[in-house]
Amino acid sequence: MAPNMTLEVDIEFERSDFALRVQTAIGPETVAVVGPNGAGKSTLLRCIAGLEPEARGQIVFDGRPWLRGGVSVPTELRSIGMVFQDDLLLPHLDVASNVALGTTENPEIWLKRFDLADLRDRYPTHLSGGERQRTAIARAFARNPDVVLLDEPLSAVDVERRPVLRKQIQDALAVLRVPALVVTHDPAESATIGERIVVIEQGAVTQDGTVDALTTRPRTTYVAELVGLNLYVGTATEEGVFVRDAVLSSADSIRGPVYVTIHPRAVSLHTRKPEGSPRNAWMGAIASSDTSFDLARLRIAGPIDITATVTHAGLAAVGATVGDQVWVSVKASEVRLQHR
Average pLDDT along the chain, 340 residues, taken 10 residues at a time: 77 94 97 95 97 96 94 94 88 94 83 95 93 94 95 88 90 95 87 91 95 85 86 92 93 90 92 81 93 87 94 89 94 89
Torsional sign, CA 260, 261, 266, 271 = positive
Q: Where are the domains of the chain?
A: 7-79+145-222, 229-339
pLDDT number for residue 118: 95
Residue type, 187: P
Length of the chain: 340
For residue 83, which phi and psi values (nearest 5 degrees)? -135, 115
Let me know if domain 7-79+145-222 sits in CATH 3.40.50.300. Answer: yes
Note every long-range contact of 21-28, with CB atoms under 8 Å and residues 24 or more positions apart, other chains counting: 21/203, 21/204, 22/200, 22/204, 22/205, 23/205, 24/198, 24/205, 24/208, 26/179, 26/180, 26/181, 26/196, 27/179, 28/1, 28/3, 28/177, 28/178, 28/179
The pLDDT, as a whole number, for residue 2 is 47
Three-state secondary-structure class, residue 85: coil
Model confidence, pTM: 0.77
Helix (H) or strand (E) holding 288: strand 279-291
Q: What is the CATH number assigned to the segment(s) 229-339? A: 2.40.50.100
What is the pLDDT at residue 277? Answer: 65
pLDDT score recorded for residue 4 = 58
Give the pLDDT of residue 109: 92
Which residues share a beta bridge with 201?
204
Cα angle 165-169-174, degrees, rounded to a multiple of 5: 145
Identify the pLDDT of residue 12.
Answer: 97
pLDDT of residue 1: 46
> How far is it, in rounded angstroms, from Cα 62 to Cα 5?
5
